[in-house]
Amino acid sequence: MDDYLIIKELGDGSFGTVIQAQHKQTGQVVAIKRMKKKFSSWDKVCELREFKALRVLPSKPNIISLLEAFLIPQTRELYFVFEYMEGNLYQLIKDRKGKVLDEKIVQYITFQILEGLYHIHSHGIFHRDMKPENILISTRKKITCECDYNYEIQENNSTFPSNTPCFKNTLTDNIKSSEDFEYIVKLGDFGLAREIKSKSPYTDYVSTRWYRAPEVLLRSNYYSSPIDLWAVGTILAELCTLKPLFPGQSEIDQLFKISEVLGNPNAKSELAMQVGGVGGGEWKDGAKLAKAMGFSFPQILPQPLSSRFPQATPPYFLEFLSHLLRYDPRQRLTALDSLKHPYFSESNLIFASPNEPEEIRLNKRIEKKKKNDNFLFRRGGHLIPGDKKNVARYSWTKTTDGQNNDNNGQAPQLPPLDIEAANNVRQNDFVLPTIKAVSPFSSIRKMRF
C-alpha cells in the first residue's frame, strides 16, 4: 500500500470497503477495495469468487480491470486494486431527474453491457448480480477525426464547477461539451459470479429483487446465464423510462409485478393471443417451481409492453425487449443473439463475430459512417460519483488507464451528480465510514495482472 496515496473513501458494502487512491509513481487514479473477510494465505484468496472470475477473464474494454492484489500477512487483509470509474448507471438514471435519454445513447450503453456479458458468458462465467449499480460508467472525450473512433481518455478531477452542463436530454441540445463526450461502460462487482459449468444446485441469494429473473424468484436451484439477460431487459426498460419496470416490495410482490405485465406463464397460448400474442410466453417449469413454494400466478391477461413506454417508442425496441423478458429462460435471447439484433443496426452498432478481428469491425463502422452522416452518439453526458453520505448501494470503480488528457490546456470539467433522489428511492442506505490512510507494510505480498 505504500505505492499509493489515499485520496478519500468511496463506499462500504457487505464484502468490503472501497477507497480512491493514486499511484505515487505513475499518477494513475485507482479504486482499492479492502475486503472485510480475513485471509490466511493466497490459497484462500484464490477460492474467492470475485478473484477467480477476474483471473479467468481475459482483458476486455467492457469489463472492469483488476490491476493488483495485495495480501498483508500481519493483518491478513486483502486488497484489490481496480481501475477507477467515475460512477454507475444508477447514478446516471437518477441524475436525469425525469429527462429521458436519447434513444441512441440508450442503444450505445446497452450494446456495451451486452458486449461485456458476451465476453464473460463465452468464457464460462455468468454475473448473477446485474443491476444499474454494478454497471460502471465514465466519460471520455472524442477527438474529431474522419472516423469518429479515435479518442483520448479524459482527465478525472475531484472538484467540478456547479455550472458545468450535465447529462443533456437529446441530440438536438446545442451543448458543445456534450457533443465532445461519450459514455464508457464496464461490468463490475463479480462477487456473486459463478462458472456456467459449476455444479448445481445453487442455494445462495443472488441478484437484486427488481432485476431478478423469475426462476430465481421461484427459488430454482438450477439456473445459468439467462438470468443475466433477464436483468438486461429490466435495465434497458429503466434506461428508457428512468423508472424500474418491476419495482416489487418483496419477492412475492415482485412476481405479481411481473405477472401484471407479462401475464400468467401457465396460461394456454390462446389466452395470450387474445391480446395480440404479447406476454412472457408459456413456461411449464414455472408451474412446478411455483407449486413447490406455495405460490399461484394470478389469472390475468398480459399487457402490451407498449403500455409501459411513451407512445413514440419504436416497435423494434419493444420486440427486442420482449425477447429478453421471456418467462422460460430457454426462450430468452443470448448475449450474442442480442448483439446481432436489428435494434442496434439503427445506430450503426455492429458486433464482430467471435472470429472476426477488431480491425474489420472498425472498418465496417467507418464505412457505415461515410454512408450516413447521422452517425452514432454524437452527444454524451458527464458523470462523477457523489460524495455525500447515506448513498444507496454505492458503486466503487472508474475507467482510465492513468493517462491525462488536455482540453485546450484544461481538463474537461464534469458536474457533480445530484443523488438526493437516490436516497429517497432506495432504502438500503448505509453510512460511509471515515477511512484512514493505510500504514505501509514491509512484507506485503503482491500479485500484479
Sketch the domain layout of the chain as residue ranges. Answer: 4-86+388-400+426-448, 91-371
Nearest to 405, CA basis, from 211, 159, 142, 187: 142
**pTM tops 0.85:** no
Residue segments in the chain with a per-residue pLDDT below the cut of 50: 143-178, 269, 271, 273-277, 356-444
User: For residues 110, 113, 115 and 116, what is the CA-based torsion angle, rounded to 10 degrees?
Assistant: 180
Residue 275 phi/psi, 5-degree rounding, is -115, 35
C-alpha cell at 231: 436483468
The amino acid at residue 166 is C
CATH class label, 4-86+388-400+426-448: alpha beta
C-alpha cell at 430: 448505509
* Strand-pair partners of 186: 136
Give the N- to C-terminal CA distance of the chain in Å, as an integer. 16
Going by CATH, does the domain composed of 91-371 fall within 1.10.510.10? yes
pLDDT for residue 236: 97
CB 407 within 8 A of CB 186: no
Nearest to 115, CA basis, from 62, 66, 55: 62
Out of 129, 180, 189, 228, the active site residue is 129
> CA 408 to CA 61: how far, in whole Å?
27
pLDDT for residue 27: 94
Residue 33 labelled as part of a binding site:
yes
129 counts as catalytic = yes
SS3 of 1-43: the string is: CCCEEEEEEEEECCCEEEEEEEECCCCCEEEEEEECCCCCCHH
CA distances from 102 to 124, 163, 164, 267, 425 (A): 34, 22, 20, 37, 23
> CA 292 to CA 282: how far, in whole Å?
18
> CA 28 to CA 402: how far, in whole Å?
4
pLDDT for residue 98: 84
